[in-house]
A and B are shown apart, each in its own frame.
Chain A
């Protein structure tokens, strides 16, 4: 299939991660909110984990897409060369 699944996975977790980090930063001084999570600002910490995971997925997808594009142009110019050579 033509869709690299790492794009949507990466995008979704980056987006959710960013939201959690942002919320974690805003609510960092709100100790009532984090009494539940044993005083740990889990939104900030886990948001960062999700951001890293999402970013990694995006990077892998981007790297492979670039590689594929390069190969395509390479094979295209190759066939173009062959064509001119034949002529």
Chain B
């Protein structure tokens, strides 16, 4: 609907940014000589660079858009995804797991699994990972292109293809190094581009205290602002822990504290941060062991502060919506022109004499919840209005929100030409960093773990170098195809994502046992994983939450929210995988000797000595300090 006009300066900023990321790719081209230069950066990058890239690869457009949406839906409790669901796992990765990833000289996470277990585990992990990255990239691309189209009036296809082309050029020229370098540039772009928007938003709602005051009003009566049907206690949006401890019915997430701490904080969080090659790859590209271990720790610092940048905008949007004099509301769902045309037709043909049935007819034509007063007024005025004006009034009368539009709507509200260009460039930067992260992880896993391992072993390094480049092009084209696929078949995409959540849920149990118990066998790990994946599917099939799940026909339990279902599902999958791996390992014979497992398992690897270094370079010390800061943050915002 109402789109913004970009000025010359806005385009100039955008073009400068694109010129620099592409320039970095070309500047790095001369260093790309072998497959390892291209796919693993030849292990040559300083820690501050890999650290910021680590966090930037995670900070894709979906993260930015989604976290602002969650900030609006759940308030400050969204910070659990950071202070519970990320920081502890990142510290664990740095202190305990990085020595094995980096020390084993594995080029990827699946390759580590092959060294530790066997080919079966590697094949399962690498195939699932390769397919998942392509889909994740496609889903994110579709979401952003759609937002840019609806809120800025940009052409969907042009936005999609141009962004992909830029990523393709710099990844193809400079490989992983180029992706990592540009991710750092993008990190600063995202922070510096959104900070002023957050500042202006906070200032507009009257500061932190006034915002919380508004949110307390919303929490007690969300229905008044179309923000939900259920009322909560006043602190539901402004306290992170108190509503959680009150049980699933006392917080808008509908989650209990155990599922939050164990399901998200342990199983899902460690499963993502400690085993997902997308982020781990950044640390593996560091120039030495010490830099590799510092990578997640350096990343943890901005991650801890990010809620200000990504969650607070959502809270600002809700506070603004509750203040009538600000004339702002969270944007309504994106509807097609056809729906609006039907709506306009319904308004024109509705009879003024019978307001109730007029409202009903218009609501049916729009397919969304509509404000009856506004529709009634619109039907009365319809004779004097043009089609375009009716369309605008219909848009205003929609009484539902599309929370994903929060961040862009704030950018539109507060940014004059100039700052607008900067904020939009920041959004595109997040889009590109997420995509480049996926593509570089995909091409490495494809080339080393699938192509070299199963299709064409014993070829020359130049051949794999060539394959790495070729598959970069293929990966981007596949992502674009997935973007179009998810645009057309939204439901199919939901199912695919669901299947991946089954596959990922138990993963950390395998790594935990593999790294810290030398008795774990390949058969145990493989069957444990299969069992865990089966368990998550089973739990999902037997339980229901917000109408999701229960597809096995027999409903055993009903969760208060899909988030709770997701956390519990992961908890069950982890436990089953853990127990199965343990039992089967004890029942099967070991296939790898202690000597073979040296450098891969904790108890069989000589401890790293880092006593002589300065304290701020010792991972254990820094990790403890960061953990303490994280606890303090949780206490402050309890």
| Contact, CB under 8 Å: A53 / B184 | no
- Is B223 in contact with chain A by the CB < 8 A criterion? no
| Contact, CB under 8 Å: B415 / A8 | no
Contact (A42, B196) CB under 8 Å given A9-B184, A20-B422? yes
A20 partner residues in chain B, CB cutoff 8 A: 9, 418-419, 422
In the docked arrangement, what's the CA distance between A9 and B414, Å?
Answer: 26
- Is B49 in contact with chain A by the CB < 8 A criterion? yes
- Is B416 in contact with chain A by the CB < 8 A criterion? yes
| Contact, CB under 8 Å: B16 / A12 | yes
B49 partner residues in chain A, CB cutoff 8 A: 5
| Contact, CB under 8 Å: B31 / A1 | yes
Contact (A16, B416) CB under 8 Å given A9-B184, A9-B188, A38-B203? no
Give the size category of A's interface with B: 20 to 34
A43 partner residues in chain B, CB cutoff 8 A: 416, 418-419
| Contact, CB under 8 Å: A16 / B16 | yes
- List CB contacts (< 8 Å) of A40-74 with chain B: 40, 42-43, 46-47, 49-50, 53
From A16, A24, A33, A37, give the contact of B422 (CB < 8 A).
Answer: A16
| Contact, CB under 8 Å: B416 / A19 | no
Nearest chain B CB to A73's CB is how many angstroms away?
23
Give the size category of B's interface with A: 20 to 34
Q: Give the interface centre of B9, B28, B31, B44 by most chain A CB atoms within 10 Å.
A: B9
From A5, A12, A37, A38, give the contact of B181 (CB < 8 A).
Answer: A5
A23 partner residues in chain B, CB cutoff 8 A: 9, 417-418
From A8, A19, A36, A40, give the contact of B24 (CB < 8 A).
Answer: A8
| Contact, CB under 8 Å: A11 / B20 | yes
B224 partner residues in chain A, CB cutoff 8 A: none
Nearest chain B CB to A25's CB is how many angstroms away?
11
In the docked arrangement, what's the CA distance between A40 and B200, Å?
Answer: 9
| Contact, CB under 8 Å: B418 / A24 | yes
Nearest chain B CB to A3's CB is how many angstroms away?
6
In the docked arrangement, what's the CA distance between A3 and B184, Å?
Answer: 13
- List CB contacts (< 8 Å) of B409-453 with chain A: 413-419, 422
- List CB contacts (< 8 Å) of B479-494 with chain A: none
A2 partner residues in chain B, CB cutoff 8 A: 31
From B177, B188, B413, B416, give the contact of A34 (CB < 8 A).
Answer: B416
B24 partner residues in chain A, CB cutoff 8 A: 3, 8
Contact (A42, B416) CB under 8 Å given A1-B28, A3-B181, A13-B192? yes
From A3, A19, A24, A33, give the contact of B13 (CB < 8 A).
Answer: A19
Q: Give the interface centre of A1, A2, A11, A34 by most chain B CB atoms within 10 Å.
A: A1
Contact (A38, B204) CB under 8 Å given A2-B31, A3-B28, A9-B188? yes
In the docked arrangement, what's the CA distance between A13 and B433, Å?
Answer: 18
From B20, B177, B188, B416, give the contact of A33 (CB < 8 A).
Answer: B416
- Is B82 in contact with chain A by the CB < 8 A criterion? no
In the docked arrangement, what's the CA distance between A43 and B196, Å?
Answer: 10
B413 partner residues in chain A, CB cutoff 8 A: 36
A15 partner residues in chain B, CB cutoff 8 A: 16
Contact (A38, B188) CB under 8 Å given A15-B16, A46-B422? no
Nearest chain A CB to B40's CB is how many angstroms away?
13
B417 partner residues in chain A, CB cutoff 8 A: 23, 33
- Is B236 in contact with chain A by the CB < 8 A criterion? no
| Contact, CB under 8 Å: A3 / B192 | no
- Is B12 in contact with chain A by the CB < 8 A criterion? yes
In the docked arrangement, what's the CA distance between A15 and B19, Å?
Answer: 12
Nearest chain A CB to B11's CB is how many angstroms away?
11
In the docked arrangement, what's the CA distance between A8 and B17, Å?
Answer: 10
* Chain A residues near B (Cβ < 8 Å): 1-3, 5, 8-9, 11-13, 15-16, 19-20, 23-24, 33-34, 36-38, 40, 42-43, 46-47, 49-50, 53
Please list the 10 inter-chain residue pairs (A to B) with the smallest Cβ-Cβ separation, ordered nearest first: A43-B418, A12-B20, A33-B416, A42-B419, A23-B418, A46-B196, A36-B416, A20-B418, A5-B181, A23-B9
Q: List 15 A-B contacts (CB under 8 A).
A: A1-B28, A5-B49, A8-B23, A9-B185, A9-B188, A11-B20, A12-B20, A20-B9, A36-B416, A38-B200, A38-B414, A42-B200, A42-B416, A47-B418, A50-B192
* Given A8-B20, A23-B417, 9 additional A-B pairs, CB 8 A: A1-B28, A1-B41, A2-B31, A8-B23, A13-B192, A19-B12, A34-B416, A38-B203, A43-B418
